[in-house]
Each structure stands twice: as structure tokens, then as C-alpha cells.
Structure 1
Amino acid sequence: MDNKAIVVEVVYALADKQKLLRLSVPQGTTVRQAALMSGMAAHFPGLDLAGCPLGIFGKAVSKPDERVLEDGERVEIYRPLIADPKEVRKQRAAKAKARAVEEGS
């Protein structure tokens, strides 16, 4: 069995704090495993690495427990959405329409 290591980065950010960690992990490590191995939860109390959404270079990974990492990839830990983007767009459109009606009256 080949125990080669690869180097990956794991990143997480809040509005006021961000952290990038460079790790050497065994070849065959999954996205979720790298996030857990990073120890990022120690820097951000309350961060649920076992269940949070993850991505690689800005693209969400649908099955982070299965996707194997390649050398040089950056694992991104995503925060849960506070509001549904579709609902926010609907509300913004409704406000714009109401403003247009008021200005047109």
C-alpha cells in the first residue's frame, strides 16, 4: 500500500475572522476527513464539521464523505444560510415594485 501524502488547504471564514490551514494528509483522504483533520473547530467554537456543507475552490461538493482530494486542492467550509436567497429576491422585488407604484402615483 502506498502511503504518499498530499498537501491541501482548509479554510473557514466569518465576517470578522478567517483561518487558512495547510495540511499534509494521506492520499485517499476525503473532503470531510480533511475538514475534520484540520482542527478548525478549535478555532471556531460551535462549528459542526461533521455536518456542515463543504466545497472545493468555490464549488459545493454534494458528497464530501466520498469525494477524494487531490494534491493542492482547497477545502472550503461553508456557513449555513441565514435566509433563503429566493425569498430575499422576492422581498427585494416586491419593495422595488411598491416603490415604483408610489413614485408613479
Structure 2
Amino acid sequence: MKVSVAFANEHAQVWRTYDVAEGTTVEDVLNQSGLISDFGLDVKKQKVGIFGKFTKLTAPVSEGDRIEIYDPITRVLDEDDDDDDD
């Protein structure tokens, strides 16, 4: 069955498709994808999902699933960026 893996950060956007066997887990696909080593990802700490819904690494994948690796979102506030309505 075909599944895909998507990952994006400030340096790259990747979407790859793979043929996997029935019973393959999210973690199996991520290991097969090479994205973990290519981008130095730690999927034990980062969130992953299927079509925008968080999932566990042990979840089985289904035909056509798009597995997403979510990069942490950080925001640095400027001094002028506050909640006051001055």
C-alpha cells in the first residue's frame, strides 16, 4: 500500500511516497523514509500525525495516509509585541 511522509521546517519542505506492507506502523515508515537521519529529527520528542491529527508512533498506517512530522513552533516576542492596546 502507498503512504506518504511530509515534513517542513524553515530550510526544507519534503513530501515522499513509499510502498509499505500491511501492519506497518508510523514509526516503521519514518525509519524507512530516511527523514530522521536527513534532518536530525527526534520523533520520540516531536509530535507526529496523520492528516493533521496527532497519532502515536505505534499506530498502524492505512492506504493513502499522509504521515506528518511536526516541527516545534516557537515565537520570540519583540518588546513592542505585547497584549496592551496602547
TM range (shorter): 0.7 to 0.9
Tell which has more relative contact order, 1 or 2 (C-alpha 8 A, sep 6+). 2
CA RMSD in angstroms, aligned pairs only: 2.0
Between structure 1 and structure 2, the one with the greater Rg is 1
Aligned residue among 31, 36, 61 for 1:41: 36
CA distance in 1, matches of 2:70, 2:11: 15
- In structure 1, list runs of 5 or more residues that go unmatched: 1-5, 100-105
CA distance in 2, matches of 1:64, 1:49: 8
Residue 95 of structure 1 aligns to a residue whose secondary structure is coil
Question: Do structure 1's residue 64 and structure 2's residue 64 form an aligned pair?
Answer: no
Residue 60 of structure 2 aligns to a residue whose secondary structure is coil
- The structural deviation recorded for 1:40 is 0.8
Aligned residues: 82
Q: What's the TM-score once normalised by structure 1's chain length?
A: 0.66
CA distance in 2, matches of 1:55, 1:95: 36
CA distance in 2, matches of 1:11, 1:36: 13
- The structural deviation recorded for 1:20 is 0.9
Residue 34 of structure 1 aligns to a residue whose secondary structure is helix
Residue 29 of structure 1 aligns to a residue whose secondary structure is coil
Residue 28 of structure 2 aligns to a residue whose secondary structure is helix
